[in-house]
């Protein structure tokens, strides 16, 4: 494989535990094949797919080929795919069987010699969380994680623990085996193109950075909206819920990137230092302010895309009396100089009308003179929307005179989309993250102190819910969540701002919505 001119990745073997699972087929195989097409893999490189099922190299290579085709890999990927596929090897083992690890070590040594990978290894744990510590312990015990004369790195998927105590226990086992700097905790949202672009938008433009503070910003809304239900993940989800599944990682990561101070450098530690400062600055939630700051909901039966869907409690593997939340909304304050008094509203939920993830900055209104309160129609807010998915880009709304009118003022929009049309294919998140692990760049991975502060925050909410017996507020599938989420913002005179897909309309009232009327796929 020809190397990229940008950097020269070091030789290594990627060892994927859980290679027969869904994550490997949906994400890892397509990402690897795209990286091969872009010539971003080392010349000396191989993949060892580790699983419990009885398979051989040919079967696994065919599975990888089909997985890449199903994922719609880049058209240029076909040329480099076959060479990569011949470097995929299968190793069958039970992850809990200690006797299998010396055999794995011998097989890796053979492949080191065959591909000249020099003992460098990446262990990707695409397995259920209960196996993270077990695999790390055995790799360390059998001399496959010592970092002596070569490097070994471990990649773990969320959830990283179920609470602070379990996260600390898991972290102790991983860092004993690999050390903090060689543990890569994936949050795939950090691999999304627009989240990486967020720092550029903020810190490379005098148009935005001088205004990025409480003097000019009225509120910030961060949303991850899903139209899907829990599907086949009911067993896992009923134990986790939206608070642990989404808020502890994705939502708080979006918050830190939005609110962080400029780092002293663009290296990994400088950026992550500033993210930790944001987490430390979140105003504590207490029993006195919990009910006015957090809303939990659960979807009931309803309609999605004109079709009836079951409620959460009717889903497969879900307790019929479950009190697990599928929706969380929060009102947070960051008590530092930049953001004092500015509410940050976070929401995430399943079975909502529109799939989207975005960060909305609502700027303060001008003083009540001139065009304000002088007989003009109500002016729309100045909005900056960072679009993360499904479209990626930036949406800016501001006020201008309506052409041809005497003096009517209307909201106008400038919409930049970097993944629309045929001009650019944004790399999938796992492509960027895998390439960064191979390079040893941990910028887009969460450091332990980030995880620790995030769990402290989430545990405080979960413990309150348990002790107070806080019930979920049921909302019909296909609506924007429980009515309590609207009341959460109404306390400050605010309303939820619709996703950008809904703002692209001539209806001037669509930047606001309460709970009920429907316009297209946008529930107001």
- Given the residues 25, 89, 188, 250, select the one marked as catalytic: 250
Token pair, residue 131, equals 């196996």
Structure tokens at 433: 């993250």
Beta bridge partners of 357: 224, 389
Tracing tokens 């040594």 back to the chain, one arrives at 109
Give the integer Cα–Cα distance in Å for 267 and 286: 35
Residue 409, classed as helix, strand or coil, is strand
Under a CB-based contact definition with an 8 Å cutoff, are residues 144 and 102 in contact?
no
Closest CA to 189 of 480, 471, 463, 444: 444
Q: How many CB atoms are located within 10 Å of the residue 396 CB?
A: 16
Q: How far is CA 337 from CA 215, 262, 341, 346, in A?
A: 10, 14, 9, 21
Length of the chain equals 524
- DSSP 8-state symbol, 403: T
Is 188 considered catalytic here? no
Burial 366-379 (b: 16+ CB within 10 A, else e): eeeeeeeeeeeeeb
Say how far apart CA 344 and CA 252 lie, in whole Å: 11
Q: How many CB atoms lie within 10 A of CB 266?
A: 10
Give residues with Cβ within 8 angstroms of 476, minimum separation 6: 299, 300, 301, 302, 303
Residues ≥6 apart with Cβ < 8 Å to 256:
274, 275, 276, 278, 279, 450
Residues involved in catalysis: 250
């Amino acid at each position: 494989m020809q190397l990229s001119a940008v950097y020269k990745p070091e030789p290594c073997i990627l060892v994927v535990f859980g290679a027969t699972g869904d994550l490997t087929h949906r994400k890892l195989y397509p990402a690897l094949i795209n990286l091969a097409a872009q010539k971003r893999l080392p010349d000396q490189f191989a993949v060892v797919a580790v699983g419990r099922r009885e398979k051989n190299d040919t079967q696994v290579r065919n599975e990888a080929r089909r997985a890449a085709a199903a994922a719609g890999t880049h058209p240029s990927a076909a040329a480099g795919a076959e060479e990569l596929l011949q470097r995929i090897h299968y190793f069958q083992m039970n992850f809990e069987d200690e006797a299998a690890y010396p055999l794995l070590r011998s097989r890796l040594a053979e492949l080191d010699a065959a591909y000249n990978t020099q003992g460098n290894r990446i262990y990707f744990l695409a397995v259920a969380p209960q196996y993270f510590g077990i695999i790390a312990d055995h790799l360390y015990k059998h001399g496959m994680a010592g970092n002596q004369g070569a490097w070994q790195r471990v990649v773990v998927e969320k959830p990283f623990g179920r609470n602070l105590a379990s996260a600390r226990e898991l972290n102790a086992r991983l860092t004993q085996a690999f050390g903090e700097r060689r543990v890569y905790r994936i949050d795939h949202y950090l691999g999304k193109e627009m989240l990486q672009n967020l720092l550029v938008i903020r810190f490379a433009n005098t148009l935005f950075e001088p205004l990025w503070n409480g003097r000019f910003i009225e509120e910030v809304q961060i949303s991850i909206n899903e139209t899907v239900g829990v599907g086949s993940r009911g067993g896992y989800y009923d134990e986790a819920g939206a608070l642990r599944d989404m808020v502890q990682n994705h939502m708080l990561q979006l918050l830190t990137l939005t609110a962080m101070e400029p780092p002293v450098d663009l290296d990994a530690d400088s950026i992550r230092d500033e993210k930790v400062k944001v987490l430390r600055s979140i105003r504590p939630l207490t029993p006195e302010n919990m009910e006015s700051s957090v809303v939990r909901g659960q979807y009931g039966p309803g309609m999605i895309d004109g079709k009836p869907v079951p409620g959460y409690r009717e889903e497969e593997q879900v307790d019929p009396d479950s009190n697990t939340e599928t929706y969380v909304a929060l009102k947070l304050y960051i008590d530092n100089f930049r953001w004092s008094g500015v509410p940050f509203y976070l929401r995430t939920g399943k079975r909502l009308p529109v799939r989207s993830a975005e960060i909305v900055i609502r700027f303060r209104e001008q003083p009540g003179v001139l065009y304000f309160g002088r007989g003009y129609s109500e002016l729309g807010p100045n909005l900056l929307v960072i679009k993360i998915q499904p479209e990626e880009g930036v949406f800016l709304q501001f006020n201008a005179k309506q052409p041809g009118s005497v003096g009517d003022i209307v909201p106008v929009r400038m919409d930049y989309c970097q993944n629309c049309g045929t001009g650019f294919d944004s790399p999938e998140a796992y492509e960027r993250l895998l390439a960064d692990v191979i390079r040893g760049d941990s910028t887009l991975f969460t450091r332990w102190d980030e995880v620790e502060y995030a769990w402290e925050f989430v545990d405080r909410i979960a413990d309150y819910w348990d002790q107070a017996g806080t019930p979920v507020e049921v909302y019909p599938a296909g609506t924007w969540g429980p009515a309590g989420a609207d009341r959460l913002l109404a306390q400050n005179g605010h309303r939820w701002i619709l996703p950008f897909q809904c703002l692209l309309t001539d209806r001037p009232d669509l930047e606001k919505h309460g709970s009920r009327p429907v316009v297209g796929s946008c529930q107001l």
